[in-house]
């Protein structure tokens, strides 16, 4: 029997023969085979920041002279708002770039990619294999944010810090892009993006775990492939206290209006009424929301109140089935006057007074084309429900729920100093 199409050679050891198959050489990544996805948002401030980040990356590539990567702004990939959750975008990303890309790198608007170091890092991982790379985080205790996953040993499961960026090799993202088209997610809700992506990739142990890469950084130090600045930018003087109207939803014990959605839409109409002063921003919170107004005032300076802005901690519902996003109510929902006016005039309303108001608002804003703008400074849960490295005592705006905690102590630990400094 003759063997063809394979290059065979004979190696002799101690008089016996064995067959040796020459393996193809492992190919390393090149800059032009890298697709950098900036997880941009449609709001004008975030569009500007993401374009600045793109220009910085392309300028560094030009200085290196080793090719030019594809730099993609995620909000420009398609009109579908749910692409922010990444998994719905994978089939389209694969269809456009699958033949030419060896790696996809996902970064946030404030993440810097140092290309010369990044190339060296990626060359350590053969592009023919499935790789999921990032700065590894793990829960120290079971967390409601992660649906108490891995409750017996929370440290056993790793997920990437989004601020440091994370990468997928070609074989992995191509397989994921195919799989996502026929496999349903375990939950209709998208809450903590990178944790849920890591769970989908891990596939109950059948897929790869996250490989921790020390050069994926969130602070500036030697030999970093990525670094991160801040989620609380300095855009100038904080907005005035008189530019924010604060509405606190409460319960029947303290107020005659009982229903969540009914309360919220009553607030929206009252905000626009002649009885109210005409201010730029509406903040809607629960009566168990803790919030730093000085930090919120600083953050709001970055946004144009003449634009329709819905700002908060963004969740998603049914995003794999053309669903919608919403700002979680407990962490605080911030709406510009233009956003409130657009929503009220659209005629969108509660299907019942006791419907979940934050989800109804999200669905309404989606129907009229107002994007939900995400800030990780808002938190739907308590501080202990988040990994310590994910939340910063200097850069958190809100927390929610008073169960089994001393809310005054939480306020003092997380917000009081900032109030004193900012009021001086």
Beta bridge partners of 398: 291
- Of the candidates 84, 95, 82, 72, the one whose C-alpha atom is nearest the C-alpha of residue 178 is 95
- Cα(279)–Cα(246) distance, rounded to whole angstroms? 11
Q: Which of the four pLDDT bands, split at 50, 70 and 90, describes residue 163?
A: very high
Considering just the CA atoms, what is the radius of gyration of the chain in Å?
A: 25
> Mean pLDDT across the stretch 244-271?
83
Q: Is 333 within 8 Å of 325 (Cβ atoms)?
A: no
How many folded domains does the chain comprise? 2
> Mean pLDDT across the stretch 136-146?
88
> Mean pLDDT across the stretch 157-177?
97
- Cα(380)–Cα(88) distance, rounded to whole angstroms? 24
Q: Under 8 Å CB-to-CB from 103, ≥6 apart: which residues?
A: 29, 33, 34, 35, 122, 127, 167, 168, 169, 170
- Token pair listed for 222: 């030697």
Note whether 164 and 203 are same-domain residues. Answer: yes
Please give the full DSSP string across 312-333, using - where no structure is assigned. E-EEEESGGGT-EEEE-STT-E
- Cα(383)–Cα(218) distance, rounded to whole angstroms? 20
> Mean pLDDT across the stretch 149-170?
95
Q: Is 325 within 8 Å of 314 (Cβ atoms)?
A: yes
Strands (DSSP E) contained in 135-197 are 136-137, 159-160, 166-169, 189-190
Q: Which of the four pLDDT bands, split at 50, 70 and 90, describes residue 270?
A: very high
User: How many Cβ atoms are within 10 Å of 51's Cβ, its own excluded?
Assistant: 15
- State the average pLDDT for the chain: 89
Q: Which of the pair, 6 or 396, is modelled with greater confidence?
A: 396
Least confident of 141-145, 236-240, 386-390: 386-390
**φ, ψ for residue 39 (rounded to 5)?**
-80, 70
User: Which ranges of 98-206 does DSSP label H, i.e. alpha helix?
Assistant: 115-122, 170-179, 193-202
- Cα(180)–Cα(216) distance, rounded to whole angstroms? 27
> Can you give the pLDDT at residue 28?
57
Residue 6 in domain? no
Residue 211 in domain? yes
Residue 254 in domain? yes
Note whether 154 and 247 are same-domain residues. Answer: no
Note whether 221 and 262 are same-domain residues. Answer: no
For 414, which DSSP code?
Answer: I
Q: Which of the four pLDDT bands, split at 50, 70 and 90, describes residue 220?
A: confident
Note whether 298 and 159 are same-domain residues. Answer: no
> Can you give the pLDDT at residue 365?
98
Q: What percent of the chain has pLDDT over 70?
A: 89
Note whether 245 and 181 are same-domain residues. Answer: no
Residue for token pair 């170091």: 117
Q: Is 116 within 8 Å of 45 (Cβ atoms)?
A: no
Note whether 208 and 278 are same-domain residues. Answer: no
Q: Which of the four pLDDT bands, split at 50, 70 and 90, describes residue 210?
A: very high
Task: Look at the alpha carbons of 160, 110, 69, 97 in this order and tell me if their dihedral is positive or negative.
Answer: positive
- Cα(422)–Cα(419) distance, rounded to whole angstroms? 5
- Cα(245)–Cα(277) distance, rounded to whole angstroms? 9
> Can you give the pLDDT at residue 253?
58
Least confident of 5-14, 19-28, 75-84, 294-303: 5-14
> Mean pLDDT across the stretch 296-318?
97
Residue 297 in domain? yes
**Is residue 387 predicted with pLDDT exceeding 80?**
no
Note whether 210 and 136 are same-domain residues. Answer: yes
**Is residue 182 predicted with pLDDT exceeding 70?**
yes
**Is residue 187 predicted with pLDDT exceeding 70?**
yes
> Can you give the pLDDT at residue 84?
98
**Domain-terminating residue out of 206, 228, 250:** 228
Q: Under 8 Å CB-to-CB from 370, ≥6 apart: which residues?
A: 308, 310, 339, 342, 343
Residue 5 in domain? no
> Can you give the pLDDT at residue 4?
35
For 5, which DSSP code?
Answer: S
User: How many Cβ atoms are within 10 Å of 30's Cβ, its own excluded?
Assistant: 16
CA 220 vs CA 93, 111, 228: distances in Å: 30, 11, 8
Residue 21 in domain? no
Residue 24 in domain? no
**Is residue 258 predicted with pLDDT exceeding 60?**
no
Note whether 216 and 303 are same-domain residues. Answer: no
* Strands, sheet with 166-169, edge to edge from the N-terminal-most edge strand: 70-73, 34-38, 103-107, 166-169, 132-134, 211-212
- Cα(372)–Cα(309) distance, rounded to whole angstroms? 7
* 275: alpha, beta or left? (left if phi > 0; alpha if psi -120 to 50): alpha
Question: Would you call 37 helix, strand, or coil by DSSP?
Answer: strand
> Which residues constitute the domain of residue 310?
241-423
Q: Is 363 within 8 Å of 324 (Cβ atoms)?
A: yes
**Domain-terminating residue out of 195, 228, 261:** 228
Note whether 282 and 219 are same-domain residues. Answer: no
Q: Which of the pair, 146 or 174, is modelled with greater confidence?
A: 174
Note whether 113 and 53 are same-domain residues. Answer: yes
Strands 189-190 and 314-317: antiparallel
Residue 381 in domain? yes
For the stretch 284-293, pLDDT in tens is: 999 999 999 9
- Cα(108)–Cα(60) distance, rounded to whole angstroms? 18
Residue for token pair 């005039």: 345
For the stretch 8-45, pLDDT in tens is: 333 333 333 334 444 444 555 699 999 999 999 999 99
- Of the candidates 142, 124, 150, the one whose C-alpha atom is nearest the C-alpha of residue 216 is 124
Note whether 362 and 216 are same-domain residues. Answer: no
Note whether 45 and 171 are same-domain residues. Answer: yes
What CATH code is carried by the domain that includes residue 350? 3.90.550.50
**Is residue 416 predicted with pLDDT exceeding 60?**
yes
> Can you give the pLDDT at residue 27?
56
**Domain-terminating residue out of 200, 228, 256:** 228
Q: Which of the pair, 243 or 140, is modelled with greater confidence?
A: 243
- Token pair listed for 338: 């233009």
> Can you give the pLDDT at residue 262?
93
């Amino acid at each position: 029997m003759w063997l063809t199409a394979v290059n065979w050679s004979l190696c002799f050891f101690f008089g016996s023969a064995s067959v040796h198959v020459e393996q193809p050489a492992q190919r390393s990544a090149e800059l032009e085979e890298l697709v950098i996805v900036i997880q941009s948002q449609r709001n004008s401030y975030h569009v500007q920041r993401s374009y600045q980040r793109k220009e910085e990356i392309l300028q560094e590539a030009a200085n290196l002279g080793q090719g030019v990567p594809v730099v993609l702004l995620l909000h420009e990939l398609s009109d579908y708002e749910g692409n922010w959750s990444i998994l719905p975008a994978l089939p389209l990303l694969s269809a456009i770039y699958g033949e030419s890309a060896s790696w996809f790198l996902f970064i946030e608007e404030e993440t810097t990619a140092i290309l010369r170091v990044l190339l060296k890092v990626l060359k350590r991982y053969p592009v023919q294999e499935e790789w999921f790379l990032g700065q590894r985080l793990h829960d120290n205790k079971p967390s409601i944010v992660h649906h108490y996953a891995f409750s017996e040993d929370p440290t056993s499961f790793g997920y990437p810090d989004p601020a440091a960026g994370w990468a997928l090799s070609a074989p992995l993202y191509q397989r994921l892009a195919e799989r996502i088209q026929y496999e349903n997610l375990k939950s209709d809700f998208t809450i903590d993006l990178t944790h849920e992506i890591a769970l989908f990739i891990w596939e109950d142990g059948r897929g790869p775990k996250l490989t921790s890469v020390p050069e994926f950084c969130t602070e500036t130090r030697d030999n970093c492939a990525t670094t991160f600045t801040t989620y609380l930018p300095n855009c100038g003087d904080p907005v005035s206290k008189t530019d924010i109207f604060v509405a606190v939803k409460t319960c029947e014990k303290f107020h005659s209006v009982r229903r969540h959605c009914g309360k919220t839409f009553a607030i929206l109409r009252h905000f626009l009424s002649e009885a109210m002063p005409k201010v730029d921003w509406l903040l809607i919170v629960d009566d168990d929301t803790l919030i730093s107004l000085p930090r919120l005032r600083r953050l709001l300076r970055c946004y144009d109140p003449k634009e329709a802005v819905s700002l908060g901690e963004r969740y998603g519902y049914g995003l794999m089935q053309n669903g919608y996003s919403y700002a979680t109510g407990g962490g605080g929902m911030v709406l510009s006057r233009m956003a409130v006016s657009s929503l009220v005039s659209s005629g969108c309303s509660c299907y019942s007074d006791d419907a979940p108001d934050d989800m109804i608002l999200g669905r309404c804003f989606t129907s009229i084309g107002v994007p939900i703008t995400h800030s990780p400074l808002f938190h739907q849960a308590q501080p202990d429900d988040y990994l310590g490295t994910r939340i910063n005592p200097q850069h958190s705006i809100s927390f929610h729920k008073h169960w089994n905690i001393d809310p005054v102590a939480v306020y003092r630990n997380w917000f009081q100093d900032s109030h004193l400094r900012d009021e001086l």
